[in-house]
Amino acid sequence: MNPIVKAVGVRKSFGGFEALKGIDLEIERGEVLCVIGPSGSGKSTFLRCINQLEVTDGGALWVNGELVGYRRVGRKLYELSEREIARQRVATGMVFQRFNLFPHKTALQNVVEGPAQVLRQDQKQAETDARELLARVGLAEKCDAYPIELSGGQQQRVAIARALAMKPSLMLFDEPTSALDPELVGEVLAVMRNLARTGMTMIVVTHELGFAREVANRVVFMDQGQVIELGSPAQVLSNPNHARTRNFISAVLS
């Protein structure tokens, strides 16, 4: 089976700081991969490289069998144009820590925006699909509400619906509950659980170890720009091989 994401020796630096130090990783279609690790370990940077919000400095990334950001002609690599990058990016939906909704648009308008403007979908069809997606995330009655009228959890669920509206083959979640009040975390995780049950391929950067244990097929522990440990939730979360993994999990659970 061809992996939906393949990373080979991926590197990324910001000035003198090396955020990713040669990441090798494959994610299979339909898999839920949870990525855990301390702040500054490179987790979010890796997601941003997959979604081409950051340009890699070394190695190679493939999504859906396509080399990310470059076109190979013979032995030479050529950077893709902005239009080509935008076309590749459509295959990947991303949900951020902050919801990044358009404050002047309703929940429905936020979800319709991408399909109507980017995919050139018929406006009526886009609205029908958007209503279905908002119902799917438990917000059927909030279609006409503006972001300021929604709780953080509701805004994040709109953001998930907005990403799904582009019909991505891969969903990336960058600590989607970290900006939420504790009582709102559960409603977002419930939507993500349901999404995982549909077979959506998901890469989730999270500190929610209970969610990772329940939903993930595999868990990656990253530290200092490297993959330290990779395995099943039971192995990585309950019986880790590395002291760094054990120390991190103990700190999160304490």
User: How would you write the pLDDT of the chain (254 residues) with one tens digit per residue?
Assistant: 689 999 999 999 999 999 999 999 999 999 999 999 999 999 999 999 999 999 999 999 999 999 988 888 888 888 888 888 888 888 899 999 888 899 999 999 999 999 988 888 889 999 999 999 999 999 999 999 999 999 999 999 999 999 999 999 999 999 999 989 988 999 999 999 999 999 999 999 999 999 999 999 999 999 999 999 999 999 999 999 999 999 999 999 87
Sheet containing 92-95, strands listed edge to edge, beginning at the edge strand earlier in sequence: 92-95, 170-174, 201-205, 32-36, 218-223, 226-231
DSSP classification of residue 175: S
If you count DSSP H runs as helices and E runs as strands, how many of each does the chain have, helices first?
9, 12
Return d(Cα 165, Cα 170) in angstroms, integer. Answer: 12
* CA-closest candidate to residue 50, choices 33, 29, 31, 67: 67
Residues 227 and 245 sit within 8 Å (Cβ to Cβ): no
Residues 79 and 232 sit within 8 Å (Cβ to Cβ): no
For the chain, what is the radius of gyration of the CA atoms? Answer: 18
